[in-house]
């Protein structure tokens, strides 16, 4: 099964530039002015132009590109968290809080220029296997 992540944005060119500069992803196919594919990770990320204030589906809140929370977000595994945070913030990300150390590694919580949260993760030793219970 192929997994693709979709990220709604209100400015496609700005989103392409951010994800390229901040995370080293590369522009893949472009589908007109409303959709672009970013490659270079384990799954493609599709950037989809959706206007602020539009309703994604019946009963949902309108889209907002201010900082917002969604229970589904993207985690990017990096080899050097400090450098990755510096690169992401230089590209326009906002660091939500300081770097957090855990038994499995370190993590930084950030937001992209469209208000979407994402995490940068640097594994230590066995990564999540350090805390796995089975």
pTM of the model: 0.91
Cα radius of gyration rounded to whole Å, the chain = 16
Average pLDDT of span 118-127? 96
Please state, as a whole number, how many other Cβ atoms lie within 10 Å of the Cβ of residue 52: 14
Residue 23 has pLDDT above 90, yes or no: yes
12 CB contacts (<8 Å, ≥6 apart)?
Answer: 33, 34, 35, 36, 47, 49
Structure letter (DSSP) for residue 62: P
Q: Which domains does the chain have, with CATH numbers?
A: 5-52+64-130 (3.10.180.10)
Return the pLDDT at 70.
Answer: 83
The secondary element (H helix, E strand) that includes residue 81 is helix 81-90
């Amino acid at each position: 099964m192929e997994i693709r992540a979709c990220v709604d944005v209100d400015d496609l060119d700005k989103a392409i530039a951010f994800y390229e500069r901040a995370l080293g992803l590369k522009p893949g196919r472009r589908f007109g002015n409303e959709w672009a594919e970013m490659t270079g990770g384990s799954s493609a990320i599709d950037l989809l132009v959706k206007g602020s204030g539009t309703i994604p589906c019946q009963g949902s809140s309108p889209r907002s590109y201010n900082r917002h929370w969604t229970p589904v977000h993207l985690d990017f595994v990096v080899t050097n968290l400090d450098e990755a945070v510096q690169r992401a913030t230089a590209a326009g990300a906002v660091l939500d809080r300081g770097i957090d150390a855990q038994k499995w590694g370190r993590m930084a919580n950030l937001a992209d220029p469209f208000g979407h949260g994402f995490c940068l993760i640097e594994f230590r030793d066995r990564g999540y296997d350090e805390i796995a219970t089975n």
